[in-house]
A = this chain, B = another copy of it.
Amino acid sequence: MDKKDQNTEQNILNAAKKVFQLKGMDGARMQEIANEAGINKALLHYYFRSKQMLFDAVFKAAFEMIAPQLNEILNDESSIEDKIKNFTYNYISFIIQHPYLPNFIIQEINRNPEFILQMKENPGFPNLKKFKNQINDEVKAGQIKPIKAEQLFINILSLNVFPFIGKPLIEAIGDIDDNQFKLLIEERKTHVANFIINSIKV
């Protein structure tokens, strides 16, 4: 594996990422990925044997970008309030840089739920254990209102992730353009945390 090899491989991955995230597994075409990478279609199969394997590599890379973000709120040591503030701010900032990521991951997990089971094997896969303990403790200590950790987690995830997935719907119903949407998202970096904390603070 010389430099050129690495370049080509990364080049293919970048092109594949672009096309897969835009069109999904079913909508993507190997020819389009080859064009995007500026290479021959056969070379795709030389580096990644099949469309499925190329897709798997792209999906895995995408998921490995998201997983640490989630672990930030699940496994960090600070108080729940601080965590919510940090997480919403960091997550929204991060997704602004990678706007296709959430929809891509959610879409493909739904298309083939067995994907996520493979990811689950990975040691870095997010899990709710620590978060559950923390919420239960803080509820017991009277620091926040009674709430089930699972529901709170779903709420945090929903409020942060959905706006990016539902963007075209939100823009249509709110009758706003991309720029106004961008401003709303910018606002949400702090709004979401305040909204959640308002709801659970004693």
List the interface of chain A (C-beta within 8 A of B). Answer: 23-27, 70, 74, 103, 105-107, 109-111, 113, 116-117, 119-120, 125-128, 145, 147-148, 150-151, 153-155, 157-159, 161-163, 165-170, 172-176, 184, 187-188, 191-192, 195-196, 198-200
Asked whether A158 and B162 contact (CB < 8 A) given A127-B175, A172-B116, the answer is: yes
Measured CA separation A74–B125 after assembly (Å): 39
Copy total for this chain: 2
Measured CA separation A157–B174 after assembly (Å): 12
Residues on B with beta carbons closer than 8 Å to the beta carbon of A174: 128, 150, 153
Residues on B with beta carbons closer than 8 Å to the beta carbon of A196: 199
Residues on B with beta carbons closer than 8 Å to the beta carbon of A120: 172
Measured CA separation A159–B161 after assembly (Å): 10
- Chain B min CB distance to A195 (Å): 5
| Best-surrounded residue of A27, A107, A154, A157 (most CB of chain B within 10 A) | A154
Measured CA separation A177–B3 after assembly (Å): 46
Main secondary structure on chain A at its contact with chain B?
helix
Residues on B with beta carbons closer than 8 Å to the beta carbon of A27: 25-26, 111
Closest 8 A-B residue pairs measured CB to CB? A158-B162, A199-B199, A26-B26, A26-B27, A162-B162, A198-B199, A113-B168, A116-B172
Measured CA separation A105–B170 after assembly (Å): 13
- Chain B min CB distance to A48 (Å): 20
Measured CA separation A198–B198 after assembly (Å): 7
Is A165 in contact with B106, judged by CB distance below 8 angstroms? yes
Is B158 in contact with A127, judged by CB distance below 8 angstroms? no
| Known A105-B169, A145-B198; further 14 A-B contacts with Cβ < 8 A | A70-B173, A107-B107, A110-B167, A125-B172, A148-B187, A153-B173, A154-B162, A155-B195, A157-B162, A157-B170, A158-B163, A161-B162, A162-B162, A162-B165
